Structure 1
Amino acid sequence: MNRKSVAVDMDNVIADIETNWIASYNAEFGANVTSEDLIGKPENDAFPDPIAAKTLIYKPGFFRNAPVIEGAQEALRKLQEHFDIYIVSAAMEFPNSLAEKYDWLAEHFPFIHWKNIVFCGDKSVIATDYLIDDHLKNLDFCKGMPILFTAGHNVNVKKYRRVNSWSEVLELFEGELANS
């Protein structure tokens, strides 16, 4: 029996970029932005000064210092028992993120083999059975089953199967295994 494949986005799926971005913005600009302030707003419009917020993404260390989303490590270890797991990030938009994301994965997800890490510019080239992502721009072109991982910017999206946590991801895939 062939194992099915699962592509997993990094930012706001396994790496808590939102929390990191808020902390960086508040420290840099003396603001008091909270995660609640970002709920339901597109990422480019979520901060009081969106242009200043975007500059933070280009600073060294931005991607390297993000916390891990709760439950992601344990869930991916468990999913690896039954699925081929690929970490897929559209990292080309922020070239300084390439090394930082690779180093971040090596630290927090050392059980993901380097052959299963894909840094690309456009995720429409990914042809896995499942894609877990927080952005419609990636899920809209998914060749398998798209799974929307909840983030502040996508809470109002009704399209696609939604998961709010890694425990919900595990529940979903336990159901998939039971049905196969």
Structure 2
Amino acid sequence: MKKKTIAIDMDGVLADFESQLIDHYNTAYGTSLTKESIQGLSEEEAFKERDLLFKVLNKDNFFRTLPVMQDAVESVRELQKNFEIFIVSAATEFPVSLAEKVAWLGEYFPFIKWENIVLCGSKRIINTDYMIDDHCKNLDYCIGKPIMFTAFHNVNQTHHLRVNNWKEAVAVLNETL
């Protein structure tokens, strides 16, 4: 029997993008943003200096040094027993991130085969049974069942099934078996 498929986003889902972005942005701009202070804000509201934000995101090693989300490695390994996992990242907006993301995955998720890594511009083409992502702009086009991973910018969004952490994600997906 063919396994069901899951597309899993990287930034904000597997990798703690929020913490890294706040640290780098604060250092570059002299601000004192915290995870708490940006809850419920859009990315544009939280990071007002857009030119600076793009400089931070295009900085060498920004994506390569992202921390791993708590329980992500163990949870993906667990899900892999019953699902085919694809790591899907809309990475082409920041070309420097492409090699860094592949290297990051090789370090933290070496059990994900290279052919199950999809670095793209738009996720509208992704056709999996489930998609775990923190952005509604990706989940709204999901062909399968969208699962929203909580992030500062989506806490006020309610139109997708929400999970707050990897333990919840595993529980929700295991219920579908």
Name the counterpart of 1:79.
79
CA root-mean-square deviation: 1.1
1:27-42 residue pairs with structure 2 within 5 A? Answer: 27-42=27-42
Aligned length: 177
Q: What whole-Å deviation, never above 9, does each CA across 1:123-155 have from its counterpart, x for those lacking one?
A: 111100000001111111111000000000100
CA distance in 1, matches of 2:141, 2:48: 31
TM-score by length of 2: 0.96
Could you tell me which runs of 5 or more consecutive residues in structure 2 were left unpaired when the two chains were aligned: none
The 1:41–1:54 alpha-carbon spacing in structure 2 relative to 1, beyond 3 Å, is farther
CA distance in 2, matches of 1:50, 1:126: 28
Q: What whole-Å deviation, never above 9, does each CA across 1:46-86 have from its counterpart, x for those lacking one?
A: 03534322321111111111100101100000000000000
Name the counterpart of 1:173.
173
Could you tell me which runs of 5 or more consecutive residues in structure 1 were left unpaired when the two chains were aligned: none
Name the counterpart of 1:21.
21
Amino acid at match of 1:13: V
Relative to structure 2, which stretch is displaced further, 45-54 or 167-176?
45-54
Q: What whole-Å deviation, never above 9, does each CA across 1:86-127 have from its counterpart, x for those lacking one?
A: 000011111111001001100111111101000011111110
**Is the 1:44–1:54 Cα contact (8 Å) retained in structure 2?**
no
SS at match of 1:68: coil
CA distance in 1, matches of 2:37, 2:161: 25
Name the counterpart of 1:2.
2
Relative to structure 2, which stretch is displaced further, 45-54 or 33-42?
45-54
1:41-56 residue pairs with structure 2 within 5 A? Answer: 41-47=41-47, 49-56=49-56
SS at match of 2:176: helix
CA distance in 1, matches of 2:47, 2:115: 36
Verify: 1:124 aligned to 2:124, yes or no: yes
Name the counterpart of 1:110.
110
